[in-house]
């Protein structure tokens, strides 16, 4: 047996949740908790609702390929896209559907494990998941995605596509801003 004085403990009050684990070994869980899940759910539901409602309005008010000029280069142009961005993979709707479902599942798993990592994750991933889910709903239900925002110089798109782009943009800015202080040191 060792003598009582020979054993060294690295105990620091407040160093971890049990106050016994050394600071160097303490780990904080980054898993999403109820507030993060609530935020993510609210953003996903709002994105899906906004996209589905606008697609319903466009498809009920404009015939396929009909267009309504709004202002400047912006028109509401009812088109159907069986593929992904720019009409790519139009003949592979089932593959695109499966890959989109896998991507949504991966994003949910990532959020479950890392939702507390950064305060913008519920919003950014909520937009990504909401936009992807809304387009996925269209692909499963209709076999295509309804696009309608047309700027003449860019292929027509919908709100879900916009939500996906904005979500990626938020993630990119958050990543750049979180790395900026580290590069200074």
Q: Respond yes or no: is residue 161 known to be catalytic.
A: yes
pLDDT of residue 39: 95
User: What confidence category does residue 14 fall into, taking pLDDT thresholds of 50, 70 and 90?
Assistant: very low
139: exposed, middle or buried (C-beta count within 10 Å: 0-12, 13-18, 19+)?
Answer: buried
Q: Respond yes or no: is residue 51 known to be catalytic.
A: no
From the list 51, 138, 147, 150, the catalytic residue is 147
Closest CA to 55 of 141, 128, 117: 141
Is 70 in contact with 134 (CB distance < 8 Å)? no
Interhelix angle 121-142/93-114, rounded to 10 degrees, is 160
pLDDT of residue 20: 59
From the list 51, 138, 150, 161, the catalytic residue is 161
Most confident option among 89-93, 118-122, 175-179: 118-122
Q: Is the pLDDT of residue 134 over 70?
A: yes
Q: Is the pLDDT of residue 47 over 50?
A: yes
pLDDT of residue 15: 44
Closest CA to 72 of 1, 127, 152: 152
pLDDT of residue 179: 75
């Amino acid at each position: 047996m060792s003598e009582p004085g020979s054993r060294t403990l690295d105990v620091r009050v407040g160093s971890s949740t049990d106050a016994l684990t050394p600071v160097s070994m303490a780990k904080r869980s980054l898993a999403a908790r109820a507030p993060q899940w609530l935020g993510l759910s609210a953003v996903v539901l709002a994105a899906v609702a906004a996209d589905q409602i606008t697609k319903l309005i466009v498809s009920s008010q404009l015939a396929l390929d009909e267009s309504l000029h709004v202002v400047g280069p912006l028109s509401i142009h009812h088109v159907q896209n069986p593929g992904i961005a720019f009409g790519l993979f139009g003949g592979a709707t089932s593959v695109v559907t499966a890959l989109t479902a896998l991507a949504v599942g991966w994003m949910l798993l990532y959020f479950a494990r890392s939702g507390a990592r950064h305060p913008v994750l519920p919003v950014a991933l909520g937009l990504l998941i909401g936009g992807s889910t809304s387009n996925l709903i269209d692909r499963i239900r209709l076999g295509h995605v309804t696009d309608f925002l047309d700027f003449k110089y860019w292929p027509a798109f919908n709100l879900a596509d916009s939500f996906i782009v904005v979500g990626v943009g938020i993630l990119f800015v958050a990543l750049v801003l979180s790395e900026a202080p580290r590069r200074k040191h």
